[in-house]
Each structure stands twice: as structure tokens, then as C-alpha cells.
Amino acid sequence: MPHPNDPSHRSFIDVSPTSDFPIQNLPYGVFSTRDGLAPRVGVAIGNYVLDLWELEQDSRLDVGPLGVFSSKCLNPFMALGPKVWAKTRARISELLRSDNPELRDNRELRERALVPMADVTLHLPVSVSGYTDFYSSKEHATNVGVMFRGKDNALQPNWLFMPIGYNGRASTVVVSGTKVKRPRGQLKPPTVDVPSFAPCKRLDFELEMGVVVGQASAMGGMLTEQQAEEMIFGFVLLNDWSARDIQQWEYVPLGPFLAKAFATSISPWIITREALEPFRLQGPEQEPAPLAYLKQGKPQNYNVELDVALRAAGANAPASISRTNFKYMYWSSVQQLMHHASSGCAMNVGDLLGSGTISGPEKDQRGSLLEISWNGTEPVELPGGVKRSFLEDGDSLVMRGWCQGNGYRVGFGEVEGTILPAE
């Protein structure tokens, strides 16, 4: 069977070269329609969603347990493992190819199984077991360190030896389009002696990629590079909303807490690790060399273009404020997962790992307003004379990502969120 990543493949469905969802992508998501059926699993192809439950009912897809695609999340399918993932993706690709009449010429099945994207509601694609956020962009960590500790002490001594992370809140991971209420918390500017409880005044975004863990690991064990890689089901865009002023007061001595617990938005389509394979590349040189348990034998970064656009409250259109790339990450997703399990921590199906803010070496490649506005001292200028240092009520943020192939792109769609006033 031809490999699903073959760039010569074409679908019988007309897909634009600029679409995020060609036959070389086939990302998984969970959707519902107006027909009253419960949320179920689908795959994006062009401007359509392929209903995998319909294909399963018609015996066109056989993954093992019957009904795995009628689930309201992808966890049951992910639990079946990498061999099933690869076999299923290959079969879906086969059914969608332009030279295969099986679905192309079956009008009745085609009308049941192909749903216009405009007619669906997309849901959170996984039941998130646990959420961990990392801090793995050297450029981002350096920028933040320079701001708050000075150029000579920008990186903490441990940063070059391990992927730094903290446990976040799985309960407030939400799908793109979910509106985000401005958080409340304790605020203590340097000019006052005691804190007050009030709505956040320095609300920010963080441009990240999210890793969706599709296989569990045992408590007490460790992971090899190959084991960690095979546990990764796929990737999503992730916006880890951040209340900078709440964080500034609360983070000593244990790190972020409520400043990061109020919302984390992810894109609805999970792009599989296999679909990203053609875009794998070597990450930045790591010096000093990682300890033995973190060493990688092959490239583990990906060439994913990323764009952030901000639509100010009342504006008609968003304006791009950052353009960077996932390839800049110092610690790879595989290293993050190996490190996470290295103490004996058990990983679960549905765990979500945030990459940490993704910033590049140039000023226009910074992945947060904290960096873009340099802690509010250099406000962003938007169309119409509007300026922003941090997010205001009514502002909307859109993140997009894609890998550019020869005549096609493997895209992530978008993750969007609009800020509502605090209650």
C-alpha cells in the first residue's frame, strides 16, 4: 500500500494547495452536526469532515473494538497503539485517493460520510488526563530572564540541563473558540505594601505547541527515546493564557499557579506524528551535552511555521503580531516526555504537554506580549492607531500553524479565543 505521506497522492475531493487539510495530513478531531447525533470522531479533508463512525458502520474501517469512533473523545482510539494508528491512517488515505472508486463512486456512503466543515461543531478532541507546561525555548527564557534578572543572569543554572516544567490544570483545557473570562487574583505592584484581589490587568497569551500522549507508561519506569516517540499520538496548537501580574506575586517559591490555571486553549484537530514526519529536522545544538537519559539519536524537531494575529476589540480584522517556527525549540517534545517520566512518573493516555512559549531569535518572532511589548515598555502598534501592551476585554487572538510541502501544506487549522470581562 502506498505511504499516506506520498506528496503525489491526490484525493477525489477537491483540495486547494493552500488548504491545511490535504490527503497528506488527515488530522483527527471530534465533531457533531445538526442531525442530533452525539459527538464522534472524524478526519479533516479539504473543506469536509470524514465521519469515521459511518465508515466503521459500513465495515470500511476495522480497527478492532466496534464503536471506537462513536466516542466523544479520541482516547479509546489512541489507546489501541501506534500500529493501529498507522494502519487506520493508511486505510483512510486509501479510501480518499482519487484512483480508488470504493468511496468515490459510492454516492450513498459518500453523502453520509462526508460532512461539510461549515455544518459541524468541533469539540475538545481528547479527554485530557493531565496537563504539563514546559519552558523550553531558549530565546523565550532568555528574553524573560533579561527583563527580570538582567543580561548576565538571564538563564537559571538548571535550564541548560533539563526541560523545566510545571503541572497545570487539565480541567480548564478548552477547545478553540471558547471565550476566556479575564481571571481574578491577588495583585501586588512594587509600589504598594499589601496585595489586593482584583481582575488581572496584564493578561497575555503564550504561543505553544501541545503534544497529545496516546500511550501510557508504568509508574516507576523510564522511557527510551524510541518509547517516548512512539507514545506521541500527535500535536495541536496551544495558547497557554497567562496573567502576568498575578504570576509575578504568586510564583515565589513554587512557580506558576492561578496565573496559568484559568484557561488553556487548543486547536480542535490533532495532526499525527506520522503526518509531520516529512518535516522533521535537527533542533538547536545543545551545549552542554544533555545527560545520558536525555540524549537523542536522531532529529526530533519539526519545521512548523507559526503565526499569531490579534484583533483588537472593535476592529474589523486581525493583524499579525508574531511569526516564528517550532524548529527553534531547545528541548524537543521527545526530551520533555523522557524527562517527565524519568523520576518514575506514570504517563496516561490523553496527557497533554505544552511546549512552552515558542520564540525565535528575531524581535518579530517573539511568542508572547510580555516579550513583544518588552514588559509593556514598547506597546504593539495595530491598525487604526490602536496600541496594546497586554490584552484588553474584547480582544481576540488567533494562532495558526502549518508545514509547507511541495505543492501542499500540512496545517493545524487555528486556535482562537476572545477575552470577556471578569465577573
| Catalytic (active-site) positions | 140
| CB neighbour list of residue 160: distance below 8 Å, 6 or more residues apart | 286, 287, 288
Region label for 407, one of left (φ > 0), alpha (ψ between -120 and 50) or beta (otherwise)? left
Q: What is the secondary structure of 79-113 as a DSSP string?
A: TT-HHHHHHHHHHHHHHHBTT-HHHHT-HHHHHHH
Distance of CA 407 to the CA centre of its chain: 24
| CB neighbour list of residue 126: distance below 8 Å, 6 or more residues apart | 73, 74, 75, 78, 212, 270, 350, 352
Q: Hey, what's the cell of 241?
A: 493564557
Strand, helix or coil for residue 384: helix
- Asked if 176 contacts 414 with a C-beta cutoff of 8 angstroms, the reply is yes
The Cα 419–Cα 423 span in angstroms is: 12
Q: Hey, what's the cell of 187?
A: 495583585
The Cα 325–Cα 332 span in angstroms is: 13
The Cα 303–Cα 306 span in angstroms is: 10
Q: How many other CB atoms are found less than 10 A from the CB of residue 33? A: 16
